[in-house]
């Protein structure tokens, strides 16, 4: 989209229910926005799957609450923000336990994202995990 002389990158926000089925919907939205031929499509899709799964399984948004996902496509990176109700437990963090049956999502984010971080408690009480995949 072009506004005067300035080009505005594609951006999409979707509100998901905090249920496992929403993970597949989040993946579809990323693929629709980026297109299968986008150089970051596979990495962004994988990380969205991991981060939205974390929101559904480990946050107060699970069990049908709300998870918001925003994807912004820039000229050299894709920025994704996933907001949920947070939890009384620790914030998402990197675990590298090769023998564990789960818990590798943030390890993948740390490995594949150029940058990532967490914003705690915005005015609506949401926790936002963001990551950027360069291409």
pLDDT in tens, 102-135: 567 899 999 999 999 999 876 667 899 999 999 9
Task: Tell me which DSSP letter residue 125 carries.
Answer: S
- Average pLDDT over the chain, rounded to an integer: 87
pLDDT range class, residue 69, cuts 50, 70, 90:
very high
Tell me which CATH code domain 11-134 carries: 3.30.565.10
Strand pairing partners for 11?
A: 72
CA gap 92, 66 in Å, rounded: 18
């Amino acid at each position: 989209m072009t506004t005067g002389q300035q080009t505005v990158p594609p951006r999409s926000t979707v509100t998901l229910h905090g249920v496992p089925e929403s993970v597949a919907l989040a993946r579809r939205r990323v693929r629709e926005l980026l297109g299968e031929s986008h150089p970051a499509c596979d990495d962004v899709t994988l990380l969205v799957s991991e981060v939205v799964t974390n929101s559904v399984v480990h946050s107060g948004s699970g069990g049908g609450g709300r998870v918001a996902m925003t994807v912004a496509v820039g000229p050299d990176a894709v920025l994704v923000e996933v907001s949920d109700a947070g939890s009384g437990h620790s914030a998402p963090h990197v675990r590298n336990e090769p023998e564990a049956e789960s818990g590798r999502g943030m390890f993948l984010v740390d490995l594949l994202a150029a940058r990532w971080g967490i914003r705690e408690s915005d005015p609506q009480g949401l926790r936002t995990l963001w990551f950027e995949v360069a291409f």
